[in-house]
Amino acid sequence: MKQREDSPELTPVRYDHTAHGSSTPGVQLTAEATAKMIVIGASTGGTEAIRKVIEKFPETTPGTIIVQHMPGSFTKMFSERLNQLCPMEVKEAEHGDRIRNGLILIAPGGKQLEVIRSDGFYEVRLGGTEKISGHCPSVDVMMHSVAKYVGANAVAAILTGMGQDGAEGMLAMRQAGARCISQDEASSVVFGMPRVAYEKGGAERLVPLDNVATSLLNLLA
């Protein structure tokens, strides 16, 4: 359940296997773990595009990871703003965060984000500060890790943005069995990243921004 605006600030989840009246190890852990995953990459014009997409996600949507090209001083504020507008909980990702249903994690500016599988669950790893594909965080870095550890259990979208970050990573995801789309030219502020992802074969089709959320949720099925 998403934190209420007037509730104490949430801390990273620490699972108590005996909580909620259950004495069976792993019951609560399994209930909140995500089996499917949504990943989104964006750059120029992406802050509003991301908002328009994720505000349509129901509270029970599978765990979602987002890379938006943005300095580190802004990603926390961006996450907090989205948390007030969206049914899902939104927070800036921290090293070791477990990816779970109902949670959106925004990659912090200035750090590379990867998804790994640990003890049967997906977690975030924050690493170096070197720019990859011209950016830190890089959509390519995130998507290559998702291709490796999540494969066909992931769906992805590349939204408006300049350049080609994410094109190679999305192609790797597609080759691993994931379903992938890009935002179309008419609704993009800059049709760079979505275009290259589509032309390289990572994105299956181009989708108007207003339809991206529905398309991703349908692909999860």
Q: Give 76: exposed, middle or buried? Use CB within 10 Å, 0-12, 13-18, 19+.
A: middle
- CB neighbour list of residue 220: distance below 8 Å, 6 or more residues apart: 36, 38, 62, 155
Whether 146 and 178 have beta carbons less than 8 Å apart is answered as yes
Residue 119 annotated to the active site: no
Phi-psi region of 119 (alpha: psi -120 to 50; beta: other; left: phi over 0): left
Catalytic residue among 69, 97, 144, 145: 69
Please tell me the distance from the alpha carbon of residue 165 to that of residue 91, in angstroms, as a whole number: 23
Q: Which is it for the CA torsion 51, 53, 55, 61, positive or negative?
A: negative
The widest CA-to-CA distance across the chain, in whole angstroms, is: 54
- Residue 144 falls in the annotated catalytic set: no
List residues bridging with 106 in a β-sheet.
66, 92
- Is 165 in the active site? yes
**Of residues 144, 165, 182, 184, which has the active-site annotation?**
165
Residues 6+ apart with CB under 8 A from 61: 38, 88, 101, 102, 217
Catalytic residue positions, numbered: 43, 69, 165
